[in-house]
Amino acid sequence: MENPAIILISPQLGENIGAAARAMHNFGLRDLRLVNPRDGWPNRDAADVARNANLIIENTKIYDSVKEAVSDVNILYATTARPRDMVKTVVTPRKCATSLRQYVNSGEKCAIMFGPERTGMSNDDIILADSIVTVPVSADNTSLNLAQAVSVLCYEWFVSGDIMLEEIFVTGESGPATKLEVTMLLENLESELDKGGFFSNPDMRQRMLQNLSNIFTRNNLSQQEVKTLRGVIRSLVGRK
């Protein structure tokens, strides 16, 4: 099901390899490939930082060259700042993820490459890619940590296929209240307030009832909360 490989070219710090694996694990990717990791492989720092992503670390594939690492890839993105001296299409991480999702659904093997921490990707490697993906960053800081760049791309990959509703009202065990339940709560409140002489100015009565209604309708009460509020009213009334 998952497909895009994450390819780290000559990564220097094991911590960054581990953090990349962890981000992949968080966001549903598994195929990690390293080209000439500086400190060799396996790498204890990588394994320590990866934690639960140990399976990704164990199955990491090591290559001597970028060309070998991408030999089975159909669609290849290079992650780098927008280049000045190259003719390429540059996309956002979000656009990259949407496209990757489509390519993967069509059965094409995809990959995203990242350059070494200090220098970033070399032009020789960038030219192998179909497109460049650039993580947008604040104008006064264009250097993004390698693991953070991997995280952003993995996150966008996951979100591009996620079915999570952008907004949901969670009510726990209790269901959301019906309009009838809220109306009955408000009528109960109105009745008790009338008994206490709350609406001293009859001209303002309608307006105050509207205000009260808005307070309790705009915040999506659960059934349990309606019950709680009716108990609150009973308690307050009984206290007099």
Residues forming the site for a copy of itself (CB under 8 A): 19, 22-23, 25-28, 52-53, 82-92, 94-95, 132, 134-138, 141, 143-145, 148, 151-152, 155, 158-159, 162, 164-174, 220-222, 224-225
Q: Is the peptide bond before 42 cis (omega within 30 degrees of 0)?
A: yes
State the minimum distance, in angstroms, from the CB of residue 46 to a copy of itself.
Answer: 15
b vs e for 179-208, b when ≥16 Cβ sit within 10 Å of the residue's Cβ? eebbeebbebbbeebeeeeeeeeeeeeeee
Closest CA to 5 of 31, 39, 24, 35: 31
Is 87 or 180 the residue whose CB approaches a copy of itself more closely? 87
Is 84 or 239 the residue whose CB approaches a copy of itself more closely? 84
Residue with tokens 């192998």: 128
State the minimum distance, in angstroms, from the CB of residue 50 to a copy of itself.
Answer: 11
State the minimum distance, in angstroms, from the CB of residue 117 to a copy of itself.
Answer: 12
Is 35 or 177 the residue whose CB approaches a copy of itself more closely? 177
State the minimum distance, in angstroms, from the CB of residue 13 to a copy of itself.
Answer: 12
State the minimum distance, in angstroms, from the CB of residue 75 to a copy of itself.
Answer: 15
Is 171 or 183 the residue whose CB approaches a copy of itself more closely? 171
Is 169 or 203 the residue whose CB approaches a copy of itself more closely? 169
Is 91 or 208 the residue whose CB approaches a copy of itself more closely? 91
Q: Which residues, including other chains, have CB under 8 Å from residue 90's CB and lie 6 or more apart?
A: 82, 83, 131, 132, 133, 134
Q: Are 122 and 81 in contact (CB under 8 A)?
A: no
State the minimum distance, in angstroms, from the CB of residue 234 to a copy of itself.
Answer: 21
Partnered with residue 230 across adjacent β-strands are none
Closest CA to 102 of 158, 160, 164, 30: 160
Angle (CA) 160-122-112 rounded to 5° is: 20
Closest CA to 134 of 146, 122, 149: 149
